[in-house]
Structures are given as structure tokens and as C-alpha cells.
A and B are shown apart, each in its own frame.
Chain A
Amino acid sequence: DAGITQSPRHKVTETGTPVTLRCHQTENHRYMYWYRQDPGHGLRLIHYSYGVKDTDKGEVSDGYSVSRSKTEDFLLTLESATSSQTSVYFCAISESSFNVNEQFFGPGTRLTVL
């Protein structure tokens, strides 16, 4: 299994509070991604990174920010959590930009915003 961990695995928070989710990889892969999974929507890309300090927006980036100060860590921050951000969040990594390469997924973080 690819070495990807996510923390925390579960979190319950209140509306308006900041939340940071962490993705850590031991594979030294260049690309890292944050997705959210919601019923009927599959996975939707929030943000991705193509190197240290290099990030870009995905399909559903509003209300989220990311940072990547080291190759191995990719942080997702909800500056002020809302109930619509209740979801399961997955981190993924990829070795190359070529589309034939698969993405490896972490175990997920279940976030509940009350």
C-alpha cells in the first residue's frame, strides 16, 4: 500500500470554527490532491499541488485553502467551517503528471460540521 496517512480520521466541529486536515505521504510523489466525497457526486477535486508551494484550485475550491511547505505534507484548511462542508475528505498522491499514472488514495477523514 502507498504510504499515505490522513489526520484526524474523524472530526466533529461547530459552524464558524477553523479546521485543518493533514495528509502525509512517504512516497516522495510530486502531486497531491484533496477531494471531497458526497452521496451522488462521487469525488470532487478541491485543490491540488504539483510541488512544494505550488498549488491550484479544483472544481469545488470555495471555502477551502491549502498549503504545501514540504513534499510529504499537504494541508487542507476550512477557514470558517459551514454545514455544507460536512463530508468525507480524501487525499491522493500521484507520481507524475502523465494521465496514465494512477492516483493513490488515503483512508479518508470524516468531517461533521454542526
Chain B
Amino acid sequence: GDSVTQMEGPVTLSEEAFLTINCTYTATGYPSLFWYVQYPGEGLQLLLKATKADDKGSNKGFEATYRKETTSFHLEKGSVQVSDSAVYFCSIGGNAGNMLTFGGGTRLMVKP
């Protein structure tokens, strides 16, 4: 079945540092790829998505590129802020019923 592997956290960075959270997947067919973010005490929110190879999703300064050849969808941000502290989930979708498969989540902590 489909699976998603993302780097374990927590990731601790200083404000304005560069962020990379790695995500790789295994799937049949051509899934869509997503990054969701969960702020403390809240549900998940879609951060960005990409639906085909070489697509770049972007939002709020975050970016991720759909790399079919390496089955990866790494999340990057050039300069993190304290407000970016959250848990980030990589996920893939593509089956009937719009089911998503999630990675284990990566907690990001940004210190001032």
C-alpha cells in the first residue's frame, strides 16, 4: 500500500534560519502530494499541494516541489519565524474516496 516517510523531529531552529523537512513516498500511480500544518490545539490545515510531477506548491513562504524521479516532496522555507512553530505532515492522495495517507509528522520549534 501507499506510505509516506518524513524526518522525525523535533526540529529546533533559530528565527530566520532555513528550514527543510524531508518527505518521501511510495505509491502506485500518480498521487497528489500535500503538506498539512497543525498548530497547537488545532486541527490540520492545508499548507500547500502539488498535483503532478515538477509542480511547485507554495504558500506563506513555504515551498515544495513534486519530484517523481526521487518520489520526494521536501518542504522548505528560507526564513522561519516563531509563528511557524507547529507540526507538519506530509501526505499523499490519489485513491478513490480521496483518501489521504499521512507521514508521522515533524514538530518544528523556532526560537527567537
Contact = CB atoms under 8 A, between A and B. Distances in A.
A60 B96 CA distance: 17
Given A42-B102, A99-B31, A100-B49, A106 B95 contact: no
Contacts of A108: 42-43
B112 interface: no
Contacts of B110: none
Candidate in A42, A94, A97 with the most chain B CB atoms within 10 angstroms: A42
Q: What bracket does the count of chain B residues touching chain A fall in? A: 20 to 34
A114 interface: no
Contacts, number: 61
Interface string B44-71: 1110010100000000000000000000
Given A100-B32, A102-B34, A58 B45 contact: no
A56 interface: yes
Interface stretch (A12-20, A43-51, A72-80): A43-51
Contact of B98 (A4, A101, A107): A101
A33 B43 CA distance: 13
Q: Give the 10 A-B CB pairs with smallest separation, nearest first.
A: A105-B43, A42-B102, A99-B93, A102-B46, A99-B94, A105-B44, A43-B102, A99-B32, A42-B104, A94-B98
Given A42-B91, A48-B97, A90-B43, 18 more contacts: A4-B43, A42-B89, A42-B104, A42-B105, A43-B102, A50-B97, A56-B97, A97-B97, A99-B31, A99-B32, A100-B32, A102-B46, A102-B49, A103-B46, A103-B100, A105-B36, A105-B45, A108-B43
